[in-house]
Amino acid sequence: MNQENPLCTDIYKKLALHLDDLPGGYPETESGVELRILRRMFTPEEARLALKLTLIPEELDVIARRAELPKEQVSRQLENMAKKGLIYRLKRKGRPVRFMAAQFVIGIWELHVNDLDPQLIKDFNEYVPVLLNFNEWKKAPLLRTIPVEQSIDHNLEVLVYEDAFELIDKNSKFLEAPCICRKERRIMGEGCDKPEGNCLVMGVGVDIYKNAGIGKEIDKNKAKGLIKKANEAGLVLQASFSKKIANICCCCGCCCQVLRNLKRHPSPADLVASPFFAHLDQDLCIGCGDCVERCQMDALELNHDKAALEENKCIGCGLCVSTCPTNALKLKRKPGPEKPKVPEKLTSAAVKRLRVRGKIGLGKVSSLILRSKKDRFFSKGLNK
């Protein structure tokens, strides 16, 4: 990660460089729209303090020493920034509170779901095509598509981390959060009538969302019920790109920024991390059109009273399969080489994305760890 650039006088340019060194990235544009967004979200003081946080969760004493500011001042600022969704606040039982940098997407932006206005949304919509670099996404995505439960046939091989209910069973804390994408579109007078409160947060993400005053905590049964409702509403399930996940987004093709931008690509199937694809048996098709209406990627159409599938647009979500009255549509597993290699943990996924983006190497990792250890050592010394 970059230290403060001495040649950069604008604190927001320094912050943009800092965010671009995080896994999600924050690339520069000719228009400077990325700086307008940061000025809207961060005060100058918050921007300066954000530069002192890294991907390593650290205690207040360490950050205060690095920022060369009084602990009481830094404590107030960090707590307020966490409530605003600008950084992550982590609290584990029996351990002190720690803070770490939050990437812009998925992270800071989603935590601003209750702080949107038309100008901010307009700026974000201008920035998204630059922010979502699908050349990087293909190699190290931020999300992966998993099938809706009702589309899984007993003959289909589905691994534990590909099954929404299995992923839920491996967690104990859940939160139902509003979908920022559908909220954006509704504020702008657009979008659809699909449910807004339909995104599922799990594990460590629950405390982060609760601290920012977003969503409501729910139990495991309600979490599974939310996934069932996603199928009923025709929403694509997109989970964290790791086997141990923090969220499942329930997405529609008209509002979701990822799906909307994927649809602009000639072959979305080549970009998404999905182990499945839909297979159509036209002989069984009765031309009811349900699958055409439910497909969020416009991969299906009616042709001479029969469904026709463009496989290069299919992302293997299973929405067309789950309501097909004649089983003309089924999910099939992609051949071995096409299967996405899903990292075990979120940290592994973050490192993979940093490597793909050319932002990390052994030297940078060692420097980051040594810097954190040094600041922890000296901060303890000052408190003795």
Question: Among residues 167, 233, 232, which one has the least CA distance to residue 200?
Answer: 167
Q: By mean pLDDT, which of 31-35, 253-257, 380-384 is the weakest?
A: 380-384
Angle subtended at Cα 163 by Cα 157 and Cα 168, rounded to the nearest 5 degrees:
155
What per-residue confidence (pLDDT) applies to 94? 85
Whole-number pLDDT of residue 366: 58
pLDDT for 200: 98
% of the chain surpassing 70 pLDDT: 91
Residue 100 has pLDDT above 90, yes or no: yes
Average pLDDT over residues 99-128: 98
- In the predicted structure, residue 218 carries a pLDDT above the cut 70: yes
Indicate whether 2 pLDDT > 50. Answer: no
Residues 235-263 have a mean pLDDT of 97
CA distance 352 to 243: 14
**Which of 3.40.50.720, 3.30.70.20, 3.10.180.10, 3.40.50.2300 is the CATH number of 141-338?**
3.30.70.20
CB 44 within 8 A of CB 11: yes
pLDDT in tens, 162-198: 999 999 999 999 999 999 999 999 999 998 999 998 8
Domain 11-124+357-383 CATH (choose: 3.90.420.10, 1.10.10.10, 1.10.3720.10, 1.10.10.60) = 1.10.10.10
Q: How far is CA 345 from the centre of its chain?
A: 14
Express each pLDDT in 309-350 by its tens digit: 999 999 999 999 999 999 999 999 998 776 778 999 999 999
Pinpoint the residues of the chain covered by CATH 3.30.70.20.
141-338
Task: Please compute the mean of the pLDDT values over residues 100-127 and round it to a whole number.
Answer: 98
Domain boundaries for CATH 1.10.10.10 within the chain: 11-124+357-383
Average pLDDT of 363-384?
63
- Residue 382 pLDDT greater than 60, yes or no: no
Q: What is the pLDDT of residue 92?
A: 86
- How would residue 153 be classed by pLDDT, with cut points 50, 70 and 90? confident
Exposure on the CB side of residue 76, measured as CA atoms within 13 A: 5
Token digits of residue 360:
């990390």
The number of beta carbons lying within 10 Å of the beta carbon of residue 68 is 8
Of the listed ranges 55-69, 285-299, 344-358, 369-383, the least confidently predicted one is 369-383
Predicted model pTM: 0.92
pLDDT at 34 over 70: yes
Amino acid type, 128: V
Residue 381 has pLDDT above 60, yes or no: no
Average pLDDT over residues 362-384: 63
Q: How far apart, in Å, do the first and last CA atoms of the chain sit?
A: 30
Examine the pLDDT at 364 and tell me if it is beyond 70. Answer: no
- Joined together, the tokens standing for residue 313 give 């647009």
